[in-house]
Amino acid sequence: MDRLAALHPKLIDLGLTRTFDLLDRLGNPHHRLPPVIHVAGTNGKGSVIALMRAMAEAAGLSVHVYTSPHLCRFNERIRLAGNLIADGALADLLEEVERANGDEPVTFFEVTTAAAFLAFSRSKADLLLLETGLGGALDSTNVLDRPAATVITPIARDHEHFLGSDLAGIAGQKAGIMRADTPCLCAAQDQVVMDALDSHAAVVGTRAVAVDRDILWQLEDNGGVVVRAHGNVLTLAPPGLFGHHQMQNAALAAAALNSAMPDLDFEMGGQGTATASWP
């Protein structure tokens, strides 16, 4: 990893051209993925992904996950069918991506994202939970034609040197992962952010379905959460993640999973929130 960082010292350089070119040289592995839930936002992305993974696995699904950054080991970024990628497999993938890229300009995150797509395309799973690195519209994960659903967690000011300080503008960047006729599930947001998301959704050809507006939830006496979304009632076990805000995260996660995988057994999946952990 140190050698890779030295070869490609620029961690982030927003834009999609390099990513598409690199993926093309690798045979376009992003076209051979399981159903994808693509997640952008400022706060809570890791928690929402952890909750979705726990519910999906409790319902019997096999789940790939791509997150960043890592806390202890780079392997944390790539989870294949429930397991962190092995050191040897990771090293082989990164070398393959480097060979395909040659001497072309590329960033560290673009290399690692391409390696992740290769890994996911070669290992069977029922679902891929895909987290953006920064922003959304120009993030190197934003190369999918039709994810199963998109998710936008709470938006606030972050990475202002890349995204600016205007909340509506930041929301517009995050909303870049939206796709026409693809469900977009959103956390409760400040009104200026929600207005921007609604506006972008209308232009794209979808609708922003938001917690506390379209997705309703209530806390049960036992600490569980009952979620009402898409005409369904989803009963969740008390989340294993600490904090009252995790109840809203659980509602968003459940609604997104139900939207992307409507046949998922939530009698089993709803119990998975109790086992969610992050990191």
Query: Same domain for 151 and 219?
Result: yes
Cβ atoms of 264 and 236 within 8 Å: the answer is no
Query: Same domain for 39 and 166?
Result: yes
pTM: predicted TM-score of the whole model, two decimal places: 0.94
Query: Same domain for 27 and 39?
Result: no
Query: Same domain for 250 and 150?
Result: yes
Query: Same domain for 94 and 142?
Result: no
Task: Return the minimum-mean-pLDDT range out of 8-12, 69-73, 202-206, 214-218.
Answer: 8-12
Query: Same domain for 1 and 86?
Result: yes
Mean pLDDT of 170-177: 95
Cβ atoms of 275 and 52 within 8 Å: the answer is no
Query: Same domain for 51 and 159?
Result: yes
pLDDT in tens, 67-121: 998 888 999 999 999 999 999 999 999 999 999 999 999 999 999 999 999 999 9
- For residue 193, the domain's CATH number is 3.40.1190.10
pLDDT in tens, 33-70: 999 999 999 999 999 999 999 999 999 999 999 999 88
Domain residue limits at 119: 1-32+73-123
Nearest alpha carbon to residue 97 among 21, 15, 31, 36 = 21
How far apart CA 166 and CA 175 sit, in angstroms, is: 14
pLDDT score recorded for residue 72: 85
How far apart CA 195 and CA 184 sit, in angstroms, is: 14
pLDDT score recorded for residue 9: 52
Asked whether residue 161 carries a pLDDT value surpassing 70, the answer given is no
More confident call, 87 vs 279:
87
**Does residue 68 belong to any structural domain of this protein?**
no
Beta carbons within 8 Å of 90's beta carbon, 6+ residues apart:
74, 75, 78, 115
pLDDT score recorded for residue 248: 97
For 46-200, list the strands marked E by DSSP.
63-66, 78-80, 83-84, 127-131, 149-152, 184-186
Question: Domain ends where: 123, 145, 165?
Answer: 123
The alpha carbon of 65 is separated from its chain's Cα centroid by a whole number of angstroms, namely: 8
